[in-house]
Structure 1
Amino acid sequence: MKQKTVLHNLLLSLGAILCSLLIAAGVMLLVGYDPLEAYSALIEGAFGSKNAFANTLSKSIPLLFTGLAVAFANKGGIFNIGGEGQLYAGAMASTVTALMMQGAPRFLVIFCSFCAGMLAGACVGAIIGAAKIKLQVNEVVVAIMLNYIIQYFTSYIVTYPLKQEGAMTAQTVDIGANYMLTKLIPKTQLTTALLVAVAAAILLFFFFKKTREGYHIRAVGENKSAAQAAGIPMMTTAILTMGISGALAGLAGTTEVFGKMGRFIDGFSPGFGFTGIAVAVLANNHPMGILLSALLFGILEAGSMKMSYSAGISTSMVNVIQGLVILFVATPNIIRLIKRKKGES
């Protein structure tokens, strides 16, 4: 039964991708572009060389973390739309930690900075989980409010007290090349952050399969009333769920700082936290599936520029494809929900 469900979800995701590409191709034809040329350029931009593939994998890393963050919360029946705020909190906390530890051994600085980034994201997530259970406040409302608060707060910090002197943009001073993550391929932005992200996906897979806490989170997500009747602590489970979810989103920001930017730059995220929702939906919240769905979105992002200047098609077409994928994946669930509501009435 479980194998049939996995196969069904896989076919649904593949079908959604195929339908999205076909519809996007139809739109291209209508406006006078060659879809074959466009998709060829897209593939070449993502896989055309070793450096191009490294760029694709690099763009997948933050989406891997935010996708895992959203999926983890979804497993516990909580919708984490606050990944963007948690990401910024993690990035700022890790940057400040690294700047305060200048001169310390490399491993110690990286370790402490990563812990600080995870802790910052976890604290933001835990607030959302606690508010949902203790105050009965919808998690979406709290998460959106915190997104704005954290983004404006970090923007203030990097614009005034921590701004690099003489810099044209709002950014901190460099954390130092010595503290950057090791590059997997020289002269690219692909670093050991990829290994951390893959390890996180594998750990989450076994967490839900093998641990008591993982079982509690899944039980609450599948049937809250039954889980409560069975004695599973709601508050503890909600805080744990959103704490770990927030920590994963915090890692997305931390690895951007230590893998690419080398500093905190105001507004560095193009919406990684929100794209993570799409990544999780496409993978049906499965940690192993998120490895593939994050790669797909990385391919679209990395190949979009090549598609733009080779085929003359706007990079916005990639956003159209992403939106169509989510629409097709979500449609069966929406139909089931409507039928269930009609049945209850």
Structure 2
Amino acid sequence: MKSSKSDALKFFNFKALIESLIAIFVGFLLGAIVLLVFGYSPVETYYWLFKGALGSTNGIASTLAYSTPIMLTALTFAISARTGIFNIGAEGSFYFGAIAAVIFTNIWGNMWFGLAMGMLLGALWSLPAAFLKVYRGVHEVISTIMLNWIAWFFVLWLVVGPYANPNDPNKTIRIPESARLPLIGNTDLSIAFIIAVIASVLTYYLLWHTVFGFGMRASGINPKAARYGGVNPNKAIIWSFVIGGIMSGLGGAMKIMGEPPTYAISQGMANVYGLGFDGIGVALVGRNHPLGIIFAAIFFGMLRAGTPLMQIGAQVPLEIIKVIQGIIVITVAIPGLYDLIKKAFKRGEA
């Protein structure tokens, strides 16, 4: 128990904190250099970034709303990383969670049923990659990339076909009012954020305070040693895919059920595309730790929420803003990526 607790708290050690702070500083510094090269004021640009993201109630609400779906897709990647695999299939499960919310809330009109079906379809979509990995030895990166595209085109067909809104061709039919997630105050933030935080805390408890979670982490560190200790690494891999699929499916469902005023999947799936991939960056910044992911997701949400005022207040073009955000994200993610690569080499040596 003592070693388990110390491992769980490793994320919060002084060294990791300093590394993260240095990475954030370097990211903003490199972004400032790019701004200077293009003739814009870094001080003014960053002022409007923070003002837009944290300077008002609506700004904070937008930051937390943006952070919600990527918090859950980050958990998908982190759970698998802790089990020793590189699952990038959150995107596909997210699509199925979103379309499940549209379909089943319009059948039953119940919020909890919509969330449950989103989790179920997200989990089911994760199984092909899990079985291919365990029983055929297909690398999860290859299978999940291919399955993401299959999910994309299948759900896109549902969006533009059977579940298109006959009154508005730019989106699907809407989530009925009885199944929409309650909003917090007069903002665009719903209780989805609270549910996502609870999911992160429960994931932390599962991985560090249960025998089941210990087996998953042991498989990720050394599969042979884990098998010798009575843990089946293949079962651990399958469960990591399933639990990860549940998280992404929940994220997809909550994205649609708690997104005013749309409450639907946009034409071309613009409002759900890329959030599974964004979760990988969030997981790396959070060091694949469920509690660290909460803060990393909020950081990413801040970068997104501050974009409009950066454009308006500092007159910086959106293209340059995206470059700045990309530099910051990559720089901040480097320590987590280094940890992941180091652990992968250790497993190979073992």
| Fold match (TM-score > 0.5) | yes
Structure 2 residue aligned with 1:119: 120
CA distance in 2, matches of 1:216, 1:337: 17
- 1:239 shift after superposition: 1.4
- 1:9 shift after superposition: 2.1
Question: Which of 277, 286, 290 does residue 289 from structure 2 map onto?
Answer: 286
Q: 1:132-281 residue pairs with structure 2 within 5 A?
A: 132-169=133-170, 171-186=171-186, 188-260=187-259, 261-265=262-266, 266-267=268-269, 268-281=271-284
Q: 1:84-123 residue pairs with structure 2 within 5 A?
A: 84-102=91-109, 109-123=110-124
CA distance in 2, matches of 1:246, 1:167: 31
- 1:302 shift after superposition: 0.4
CA distance in 1, matches of 2:142, 2:230: 28
The 1:116–1:230 alpha-carbon spacing in structure 2 relative to 1, beyond 3 Å, is same
CA distance in 1, matches of 2:249, 2:345: 38
Structure 1 window deviating more from structure 2 (227-236 vs 53-62): it is 227-236
- 1:199 shift after superposition: 0.6
Amino acid in structure 2 at the alignment position of 1:281: L
Cα contact 1:16–1:329 (8 A) shared by 2: no
Instruction: Give the secondary-structure state (helix, strand or coil) at the position aligned to 1:168.
Output: strand
The 1:264–1:323 alpha-carbon spacing in structure 2 relative to 1, beyond 3 Å, is same
- 1:68 shift after superposition: 1.3
CA distance in 1, matches of 2:206, 2:335: 29
The number of equivalent residue pairs is 334
Cα contact 2:221–2:343 (8 A) shared by 1: no
CA distance in 1, matches of 2:11, 2:114: 40
The 1:82–1:91 alpha-carbon spacing in structure 2 relative to 1, beyond 3 Å, is same
CA distance in 2, matches of 1:340, 1:223: 8
Structure 2 residue aligned with 1:312: 315
Amino acid in structure 2 at the alignment position of 1:220: S
Amino acid in structure 1 at the alignment position of 2:48: A
Matched, 1:299 2:302: yes
Structure 1 window deviating more from structure 2 (191-200 vs 158-167): it is 158-167
Structure 1 residue aligned with 2:57: 50
CA distance in 2, matches of 1:33, 1:328: 29
- Unaligned segments of structure 1, at least 5 residues: 103-108
The 1:184–1:291 alpha-carbon spacing in structure 2 relative to 1, beyond 3 Å, is same
| TM-score (normalizing by structure 2) | 0.90
CA distance in 1, matches of 2:173, 2:45: 40
Amino acid in structure 2 at the alignment position of 1:213: F
Cα contact 2:101–2:175 (8 A) shared by 1: no
CA distance in 1, matches of 2:287, 2:346: 20
- Unaligned segments of structure 2, at least 5 residues: 1-5
Instruction: Give the secondary-structure state (helix, strand or coil) at the position aligned to 1:84.
Output: helix
CA-to-aligned-CA distance 1:61-91 (integer Å, 9 cap, x gap) = 0111111111111111121111111100111
Question: Which of 25, 42, 62 does residue 35 from structure 1 map onto?
Answer: 42
| TM-score (normalizing by structure 1) | 0.91
Amino acid in structure 2 at the alignment position of 1:145: M
Cα contact 1:46–1:52 (8 A) shared by 2: yes
- 1:202 shift after superposition: 0.9
CA distance in 2, matches of 1:63, 1:5: 20
- 1:301 shift after superposition: 0.5
- 1:24 shift after superposition: 0.8
- 1:178 shift after superposition: 2.5
The 1:241–1:259 alpha-carbon spacing in structure 2 relative to 1, beyond 3 Å, is same
